[in-house]
Amino acid sequence: MADFDREQGAPIPPEMVTKYRDMGDGTHALQVYTPTVAGEQQETDVQIVAQPAWSVLLNDVVIDGTPAAVNSASLNISEYSALWIQLYVESVGAPTDVRIIPQFSHNNGANWFDFVEGFWASLYYEDTATAAPGVRSSFMLPCGGQDLVRFRAVATGAGVGATFAVGIRARAFRGNFAGAHA
């Protein structure tokens, strides 16, 4: 698996995770920047326990107004504390926007609850920003104490000739550092 770098030139806040790393020997790490006593940033690889592989939860599903919303496959996260997410969104034509909503279940999928903390409370992509070649983003999401996670994609303004394609893959992990829960 390739490394996923932060955007070049972006400031690095304390304890920020900037890369997922497959160490090549069966172990995994997250690269974390932490402040030093001198006020500089120090790069550290923090070993984590990760799920064996990335899970494809939505595989470039086209939202064309029928339906206007889709739910991804669910992922068992009961033994993990955080989730690394890779999101792909591309629009064709001029749909209005698509909202991506993480949902958690504590009772094996009987009930789903929207996660509306931080930027996840209003994660929208507009058609002009997602026109070909699309948008590829990577996020972290805390998930401790839950059984399952899935994602809901809700489009407005989609119809014939005005669509969104959405792809989501995720990998759960646990590790002992503050950045995993930020």
Domain CATH for 112? 2.60.120.680
Helices (H) and strands (E) in the chain, counts: 1, 13
pLDDT for the residue 123: 86
pLDDT for the residue 5: 37
For residue 39, being part of any structural domain is answered with: no
pLDDT for the residue 129: 87
For residue 41, being part of any structural domain is answered with: no
For residue 5, being part of any structural domain is answered with: no
Q: Is the pLDDT of residue 73 over 90?
A: yes
- Which of residues 98 and 25 earns the better pLDDT score? 98
Cβ atoms of 85 and 141 within 8 Å: the answer is: yes
pLDDT for the residue 81: 84
Q: What is the domain range of residue 66?
A: 51-174
Closest among 173, 181, 152 to 47, alpha carbons compared: 173
For residue 20, being part of any structural domain is answered with: no
Instruction: Give the total number of structural domains in the chain.
Output: 1
Closest among 157, 160, 182, 15 to 83, alpha carbons compared: 182
pLDDT for the residue 116: 86
Q: Is the pLDDT of residue 25 over 80?
A: no
- The residue assigned the tokens 């090549």 is 24
pLDDT for the residue 10: 39
The DSSP code sequence of 92-127 is ES---EEEEEEEEESSTTSS-EE--SGGGGG-EEEH
Section 57-74 average pLDDT: 94
Cβ atoms of 4 and 140 within 8 Å: the answer is: no
